[in-house]
Structures are given as structure tokens and as C-alpha cells.
Amino acid sequence: MSGAEAPLITEEAPERGAPSSGTRLGAAGAQGSRKYRRRSDALAYGDRYQKAAALVDLAEDGVGIPEDVLNDTRFERAMGFYFVYLRFDWVWSLNLFALILLNFLEKPLWCRKDAEHACDQRDLYFLGQLPYFSKTESLIYEGITLVILALDIFCPLSYEGLNIFWKSTINKLKILLLFILACDILVFAFSAQPFRVAPYIRVAFLIMTIRELRMCAITLYGLIGTYLNVLALSLLFLLFASWLAYVTFEDTLQGKTIFSSYGETLYQMFVLFTTSNNPDVWVPAYKISRWYSLFFIVYVLLGVYFLTNLILAVIYDSFKEQFGKQLVQMDSVRKSILQKAFGLIDTAGQGYLDREQCISLLNELNKYRSLPKTSREDFELIFTELDRSGDFKVTPEEFDDLCNTIAIKFQKEPPPSYLEKFPFYQSPLCERLKSFVRSRQFDYIIIFVLLMNLVAVIIETTLDIENSSSQELWQEVEFFLGWIYVAEMGLKIFSFGFGAYWMEGQNKFDFVLTWTIFIGETLTFAFPSKLSFLSNGEWIRYLLLGRVLRLTRILLQVQRFRAFVATFLTLMSSLMPYLGIVFCVLCMYCSIGLQIFGGIVYAGNPILEETDLFNNDYLLFNFNDYPSGMVTLFNLLVMGNWQVWMESYRQLTGSSWSLIYFVSFYLISILLLLNLIVAFVLEAFFAEMELEKVGETDIQNPTTGGTRRSRSMRSKGNTVDILLHHMLCNE
């Protein structure tokens, strides 16, 4: 940043001094600055290091502050309002949850349309167990959430201003939907209506408000065109194969019973494309001639193993392109904030920051970030990570990587044991004991005990199912093994020290589980008659579940398996936006299902008794209320006999138009969303494993001449960001 450019935020008068060098600037920032616990106070009253630290913290948070706000002359006042708005973030988040929860609690419209008290007959209509709001309760609930939602939408006006606020398409859309939602509530309050848009708008607000869901939705919107192209190819294949099947089997038993018309043939071949009715649909043809099976085998192979995988490949390729565009936009916003922070510190216009300036910034940043307090040594290591050129200067280009660098936490060497101050702890006997506990022989002994525990759990579970009195003997064996685990935990704490013991996640899991089971078993044996809940046989089964969890330690002894578990936990956090989009799609389809299928599944319906829903005892999986509809859609999502619902509701409605609902759900939720999730998991898993290997290499080859006594660990919140950037770099 040029020295001729005036910094956006200037020093508050009077200044504490005018150092002549970057070193003196760093000293002033590190030693003489006042402490501001809130970022808004730092932006309004702090010195340039505190203001820069607050901006870096904003960049690390990933919050998309409009660039016009950053360049506004009323920046300090605007940011004050901005942080006031953020302090109520928990209120806005809770209100979103309340909006979605209302979908599950409001009484279905078909109840009011057909009979006011129809939903009170839960057994008759196979309804769920959640209570329903009355109309008055629903209106009060909706009114409160509407007011909070309006505050959430219009509060940004205080720090963005009307001009900037109205430039945002998202803000315009939110205001439009808020107006429609208010009108819908008013109409619902004064008249009975067969249709409401409120359930859909609630889900739309959830997507627009949560940044990760909004980004995922934008990505999906960008790849719709490519998806429709490959879907058209699949449709042509289906149309041709259905025509060929209709012509081939026209005068056979297959044609007379199943392929009775081209429309019916198209429907059955579509279901066969999903393999849900295989081989039932071609059994009549197979009875006539075994050679007919070749037609269906070729069709399934082409459809399932070629076309569906082609769809997967096309979706994934388009996804990476759209995702890359979003990352570029996010990085642009982040760089804008970071360059502003750089300019606040580099007031002399040198074009770089020296070591003391960076450390002063990190010292101030330590007050605002949510990471644990870090030491001066960590600051040195972070500066070394930033200074890629090794010239002890951080250029603006290197400074752009600050957010990723400051998210690195350095795991120190284990702290010394508290017992080291006692002379006996250094005795030869204690040294031999500590050496034995740290050896592989001790691990093998514990593994042997775990295997014995496995045998005991299997025997005890079998006896518990059979209600055998011999179970008490094996409970005593388990109680004895519990003492062994307590002794193992004590020996490890004694040998390593509690600080070193607690640094390992496996030890934390084992510590909590061991004490929970041990206390439960002790109470069971000591007070079986005085405590009524302990005399219940179910308590023993809970202990059995805990003991099975303990056996996972056997698998954790394998290093590669531990790496898989760590990778799985990392991927789960990165997958949440995509799983959230799937949930939102289910909510949308559930609302549609309630309004077109609600109330037609009930006991005594003569048409229902002729459907596969009745024959397969699937009556509880219906669209009569929201919870039941969500469970039903989950069954459709996993393709569990999904054609049963599609065919049954066609019979119940008496119209083939109902097929559009199920076919569109398959095309959007399964072919599009689930394929996207599968592709993302595959690529992200490979990228994460590569990053793990890089991390292991760093541990095996320490740098900085042996002065780095710690290893860098990516924080949980930053792992996903690095992972996604790594995926983009591979392109």
C-alpha cells in the first residue's frame, strides 16, 4: 500500500508518540497500548495495532462485510453498529430454529379444511406424537418470529446505510419474502385457506441467512444447466429403451400384464432404472424365455453403471468450477480487509512489515480471537510461517495468508508431571515403572484385557437376552476388569503426568468412559436394593453399551484407523452445508406432500386397503403431518422400496400426475444432491489424507534449526477452509 494514501482510520488524538522506526512502532503497540476486550471498542478508540487486529479478526471470521462499508468515511460509527448487531446473533439464530420448528408443530391445513377435530384422532389418521398448536397459538408464535425476523433484516441498515443495503439482491429478496410472509399470516388469521406459502418461506429464510447454506445453494444453481444437459441424455435413453421394450414384448405375457401401454412401460422402465423393482418387473418375460433376461441386464448395466456414473462425473466437474468461483470471491473480500489492516500498520509506506510489527499485531490479535492465549514463542513461529521468503519481512502478498497462518496452533511438548518435585518420583523403581507403562508391552497387555472384555461382553449379552441367572457371575468379571482399567488410567497419569495424558483425545474418551462405567458398576454392586433405578435390568444393558464403546480402543491401536477417524470428523464439518441443503429440500417436499396428499391415508379407506402401503404395513409412513412426512421422505431418499409410495399414492389420488412429485424428488434429491455429496466426500477425503501426510512429514522433518519444539496443528475451524483451498489448487 502506498505511503501517499491516507489510512482510513487515523490515530486518536493525542498520540502517545511518533516512533521513527518499525521497531519502535512495534514496541508502542505491544507495551503501551490500552486493552479493549471488544472489537467495536478497538475500532472506535484503539491505536492502529488494535484496529488492525480487529480487522484481521473479521477477515478470519469469514464474515462478508461490504467493501463499501470499509471505505466509508463513517467507518468507525458504522462498525460500532455492526458489532451491536453481531451481539444479537444468538437471537437471530434461535429465531431461525423457531421458524423451522413451527413447521413441525402447526396443525396441518387439511385438518381445518376437512374436519376441525380430525387431527385429534391420531390413530385413525396414523399421525405422529408431536403436539399441535391451535390457531391462536400458531398466530402468536408466528407473530413473535415475524417481528424478530424483521429486526434481523432491517438492522443492517444502521451500519450499511440505505444505498449500500439496497444494492444487495439478498436484502431485496428478504424484504419481498418478509412482505409475502406477513400477508400470508394476515390471510391465515382471518380466513381458512387451503394453501399457505409460509412453510416454504421459512425454509428460504434459513438458506438465505446461513452463509454456508447460501453458498451451497448458489453453487447448485450454477450447475443446474450442466445437470439438465446430462439429464436430457438420460431421458432420451429411457424413452428409447421403453419404446424398444414396449415393441419387443407387445404380444407376450410381459406386454399384457406389465407393459400394457407405452406410458406404463415408460413408468416401469424408469423404476427399473433405479433398480427398485428388479427383477420383479421382468419375471413374466423370464418365464417365457431365459434369453429375454439379456435385454433387461443390458438395460440395467447401461443405466446404473454408465449413465448414473456419467451424471456423477458431470455434476462433480461442474461443482468444482462453481465452487472455485465462490472461493475467488471469498478470497477477494478477505484480501480487501487484510490489505486495509496492512495499511494501518505500514504508515511509513515501506511496503513490508518487520518482525516487531507483526509480533505487535499478533499480540493485539491474541485479545480478540477466540483461540487460546499464545506465547511469544508462538508469535515467532507464526512470523516464520508468514515469512516465506526468509528475509524477515512480510510483504502484502505474504500478509494475505495471515488468516490461515494464525489459525495454526502449536502443540507444545507435554508439560512435566506434578510429581516431579517429589524425590521418590526419580527413584530407580519409579523409573522402571514409568518405562514399562510407556512400552509396547504394556499396550499389548491392555489389548489382551480388552479382548477378554470382548468375550465377557458377548457372553453377558447372550445371558442377558436369555434372562439367565449366570449373568451375575459375568457382571462380577466385568467389575474386576473395570478395576484393571482404573489401574491402567492411574499408571498412565503417574507415568506421563496428567497434562500429557489429557493431551490425547483417546485418553480423554477413555477417562470419561472408564469412570462412568466404574461408578455405575460400583453403585450397582454396593446399593442394588436402596436405589430403585439400579435394580432395573435396563441399567445393566446401558453398562453393556458402554463396555462395547470401550472396545473401540482395540481399533484405535491401528494408526491408519485413527487417521481415518480424524479424517471422518473433519469431513463431517465440511459436509454440514450440503446435508443442510438436503434437509431444506426435504422440508420443501414435505410441505408440498402435506398439501396434496394430506388426510388421504386413514383407517377404513377402501382404496387404501388395495395399495402396497396397506399390504406392506407402511401406513405410518404418510404425509398426514410434518414429522411423518419427513420420515417418509427419508425412506424415499435412501431408495427403500420407494416405488411402493409412488404407486400407492397414484392409486389413492386416482391421477398419474402424482408421479411428478416422486420423480422430481428422485431427480433433485438423489441424482443431484446425493451424487454431489458422494463426489465431494471422495475428493475431500483424498485431499485431507494428502494434507495429513504433509503434516506427518513436517513432524518428521522439523525446521528452524531444532528451535521448533512443537508441531503445527490445524484448528478444527480452519481445517475445512484449508482443505477446500487445497482442492481448488489441485485444479
* pLDDT at residue number 4: 35
Cell numbers at residue 405, please?
A: 497462518
Question: Are 579 and 719 contained in the same domain?
Answer: yes
- Place 533 in a pLDDT band, splitting at 50, 70 and 90: low
- Place 238 in a pLDDT band, splitting at 50, 70 and 90: very high
The answer as to whether 481 is a domain residue is: yes
Q: Per-residue pLDDT for 646 more than 60?
A: yes
Q: What is the dihedral of CA 48, 50, 54, 60, to 10 degrees?
A: 100
Rounded mean pLDDT, 635-640:
86
Domain end call among 535, 557, 579: 557
* pLDDT at residue number 378: 67
- Place 716 in a pLDDT band, splitting at 50, 70 and 90: very low
Q: Which residues contact residue 292 at a Cβ distance below 8 angstroms, ignoring those fewer than 6 apart? A: 249, 254, 282, 285, 286
The answer as to whether 191 is a domain residue is: yes
Q: What is the CATH number of the domain that holds 242?
A: 1.10.287
Q: Which of 61-65, 267-271, 373-377 has the highest average model confidence (pLDDT)?
A: 267-271
- If residue 302 lies in a helix (H) or strand (E), which one and from where to where? none
Question: Are 582 and 702 contained in the same domain?
Answer: yes
Q: Which tens digits make up the pLDDT trace of 560-569?
A: 676 677 667 7
Average pLDDT, the chain: 77
Sequence letter at residue 121:
Q
Sequence letter at residue 525:
F
Strand partners, 394: 353
Question: Are 669 and 625 contained in the same domain?
Answer: yes
3-state DSSP call for residue 1?
A: coil
Rounded mean pLDDT, 401-409:
63
CB hemisphere CA count around 433 (13 angstroms):
15
Total domains, the chain: 4
Rounded mean pLDDT, 690-711:
50
Q: Pick the more confident residue, 234 or 86.
A: 234
Question: Are 590 and 527 contained in the same domain?
Answer: no
Of residues 600, 688, 593, the one with CA closest to residue 631: 593
- CA 276 and chain centroid, separation: 30
The answer as to whether 518 is a domain residue is: yes
* 19 upstream amide cis, omega within 30 of 0: no
Contact 513, 506 (CB under 8 A): no
Contact 581, 673 (CB under 8 A): yes
* Crossing angle between the packed helical segments 224-248 and 211-222, to the nearest 10 degrees: 50
Question: Are 194 and 266 contained in the same domain?
Answer: no
- If residue 82 lies in a helix (H) or strand (E), which one and from where to where? helix 75-87
Q: Output the 3-class SS for 599-621.
A: CCCCCCCCCHHHCHHHHCCCCCC
Rounded mean pLDDT, 366-388:
63
Domain end call among 510, 538, 557: 557
Question: Are 193 and 113 contained in the same domain?
Answer: yes
Q: Which residues contact residue 332 at a Cβ distance below 8 angstroms, ignoring those fewer than 6 apart? A: none
Q: Output the 3-class SS for 205-246.
A: HHHHHCHHHHHHHHHHHHCHHHHHHHHHHHHHHHHHHHHHHH
Q: Pick the more confident residue, 258 or 34.
A: 258
Question: Are 576 and 715 contained in the same domain?
Answer: yes
- Place 18 in a pLDDT band, splitting at 50, 70 and 90: very low
Q: Per-residue pLDDT for 36 more than 90?
A: no
Q: What is the CATH number of the domain that holds 503?
A: 1.20.120
Question: Are 625 and 666 contained in the same domain?
Answer: yes
Q: Which tens digits make up the pLDDT trace of 178-223?
A: 999 999 999 998 887 778 999 999 999 999 998 888 888 888 888 8
Give the range of the structural domain holding residue 310, as residue numbers without chain letter. Answer: 237-326
Domain end call among 528, 557, 586: 557
- Torsional sign, CA 70, 74, 78, 79: positive
Q: Which of 16-20, 135-139, 354-358, 419-423 has the highest average model confidence (pLDDT)?
A: 135-139
How far apart (Å, rounded) are the C-alpha atoms in residues 104 and 88?
26
Q: Which tens digits make up the pLDDT trace of 478-526?
A: 778 778 888 888 888 888 888 778 877 678 877 887 787 777 777 766 6
Question: Are 204 and 246 contained in the same domain?
Answer: no
Q: Which tens digits make up the pLDDT trace of 413-455?
A: 566 777 777 788 888 888 888 888 888 888 888 888 888 877 8
Entry pTM: 0.76
- Only one residue has cell 457382571, namely 475
- Torsional sign, CA 534, 537, 540, 542: negative
The answer as to whether 602 is a domain residue is: yes
Helices vs. strands in the chain: H and E counts, helices first:
38, 2
Q: What phi and psi, each to the nearest 5 degrees, are found at residue 449?
A: -65, -40
Contact 214, 208 (CB under 8 A): yes
Question: Are 654 and 635 contained in the same domain?
Answer: yes
* pLDDT at residue number 337: 80
Lowest-confidence region among 4-8, 230-234, 396-400: 4-8
Question: Are 529 and 573 contained in the same domain?
Answer: no
Q: Which tens digits make up the pLDDT trace of 287-315?
A: 888 999 999 999 999 988 899 888 888 88
Q: Per-residue pLDDT for 149 more than 90?
A: yes
Question: Are 574 and 722 contained in the same domain?
Answer: yes
Q: Which tens digits make up the pLDDT trace of 465-477?
A: 777 777 777 777 7
**How far is CA 618 from each of CA 24, 608, 632, 644, rounded to the nearest angstrom?**
76, 11, 9, 9
